[in-house]
Each structure stands twice: as structure tokens, then as C-alpha cells.
Amino acid sequence: MESLVEHLGFDRGARLLIVTADDLGFSYGTNIAIYESLRQGVATSASLMVPAPWARGAAYDYRGEDVGVHLTINAELDVYRWGPITQAPSLLDGDGGFPRTIDDVWEHADLEEVRREWRAQIERAILWGFDVSHLDVHLGGVELKPEFFDVYLDLAEEFALPIRLPDKKEEPRIGFPFRSLAKEHGVLAPERLIAPSVLGSEEDAMYAALVQLDTGVTELSVHPALDSPELRAASSDWESRTQEHALVAAHGALERAIRRSNIACIGFRALRNVMRSS
């Protein structure tokens, strides 16, 4: 049986990397940082938060890049809020935005309202002109309850889009075989997901981490943003966002480490094309 990398046109032993810049639409400075990372840096994909305040601005600046939908039913920040684009009372907290925590969503959300909201976010991205390449979920966890995962998987199958999933080794902790279920439905996903902390901050450390990656497709998820008073006021993690912008910028340490490590970079669109051709 052919491996995923072979379906993608590479040798069985190839190591492929998708560098995804999350939270497109979060802010004006985030949009600038992500498009710079895609057009000049090492990012190969991005994901759009359709309900976020600068999502329409991101659509205005879109030039055909590999962009998926960052399915959003949380607004985790205290003073910077966004909410549903559909009529979804169970997806509202007391101040009119999405719930702040995943547990709140799990406890209160009506699944049909979740399905309607997520579908509307995908359809709006398409209406705005995005050639949607994949789906992932904001905060990465709300989909890891079986009934929410079913909605996620149904939409991926309906729109023929690959998805982000945790590593298979997480299945015992999470409690159900999400990767096997995706495979049964013909939905592709990178085989593992890593955070920037895995790479360290120096080029040699990045190189060492990259050469130790298993064969197959790995996704690196980052959150680039430009430093600004708005970002500092909105988010307590502003500093890590600016550092991750530097990480994926052109001519940086990660770019050099990738070149040294004999890793091929691809986007989610490559996985989508395999899904649709199958």
C-alpha cells in the first residue's frame, strides 16, 4: 500500500513539512505578518479565522495563497472579542461573544448550531474568494470530543478537504481512534503536529530537530504577528507571536535549517489535491 508521501509524489523515505500560519484575520498586524511569511518566508499554508475582526481585510489582500479555514467557536481573550456569524444562541457567552474556553463549548453548545456555524465559516471564505485548502480548529481541542469530531469530519468529507489532527500517539489519552475514523472517510491529515518549541531558537538546534523527524508529513503550526500596541493590549502571548513571525520570515534560521536538513516543504493544497483525485 502506498504511503502518504508516495501519494504526494515523493519517495517512501521522504520527510515533508507543512508550515502553517494560524489566525489569519486576527488583527491587521497578523495579516501582514502571515502574508509576508507566505510570500517571502517559509510558511507554506495559513488558516483564516472567518469571524475575527480582520478576516474581511485578509480576503481583500488574498492573492491565491494556500489558505484553509480555522474553524472558530471560541473567543478566548478578555477584551478582544468575536462571535458567531450565524444565529447560534448556544455559542454565545454572557457578553455576546463566543465562549472563552473549550469546556464551555462542550458543556453548552448545540451540535447543530456548531455544524451550521462551521459550515457558514467555510462557505463565507469561499464566497470571499479563498481557494480553501484545508480545515483546522481554533485552540485545537474542541474537536477532540467524539460528537464534535463527527461534525468536523463530516464537513471535511463534504468539502473534500484535509484536516489537522493530533499525533496518533495521543489517541489513548483522548479516548477514541480519530485517525482511523478520518482514514475510513478518505480524509487526509499530516501524520504529526509540532509546535515551535520543539525546534528551539538557534539554527543548529532547529537543524537537529528537523533531521530527527520521522518520514512522512509533519505540520508545524505557528502564529506570526507584527508587534503593535493593539497586539500587546489584546493578547498576553503577543511576544511569542512576534517571535514566531521572526522564525518563519525570509532568510531566517529556520529557512537555513530546512535547507540543510533535506526536508521538502509543501502546503495543504497538495494533500487536498490527492484527496480530490482519489
Instruction: State the pTM of this model.
Output: 0.96
Residue 218: which of 68, 16, 76 has the closest Cα? Answer: 16
- Say which of 22, 23, 66, 136 is annotated catalytic: 22
Domain residue limits, the chain: 4-277
Q: Which of 4-8, 29-33, 270-274 has the lowest mean pLDDT?
A: 4-8
| pLDDT value, residue 169 | 87
Q: Is 80 exceeded by the pLDDT of residue 1?
A: no
Q: For the segment 186-218, what is each residue's pLDDT rounded down to a tens digit?
A: 999 999 999 999 999 899 999 999 999 999 999
d(CA 182, CA 150): 10
Q: Of 70, 134, 138, 223, which is the active-site residue?
A: 223
Instruction: Note the residue count of the chain.
Output: 278
Residue 94: pLDDT over 90: no
For the question of residue 223 being annotated catalytic, the response is yes
**DSSP symbols for 169-193:** GGHHHHTS-HHHHHHHTT----SEE
The answer to whether residues 36 and 30 touch, using CB atoms and an 8 Å cutoff, is no
CATH of 4-277, one of 3.90.1300.10, 3.20.20.140, 3.20.20.370, 2.60.120.260: 3.20.20.370
pLDDT digits (tens, 9 = 90+) for 119-150: 999 999 999 999 999 999 999 889 999 999 99
pLDDT above 90 covers a percentage of the chain that reads 93
The tens digit of pLDDT for each residue in 100-123 reads 999 999 999 999 999 999 999 999
Q: What is the pLDDT of residue 278?
A: 80
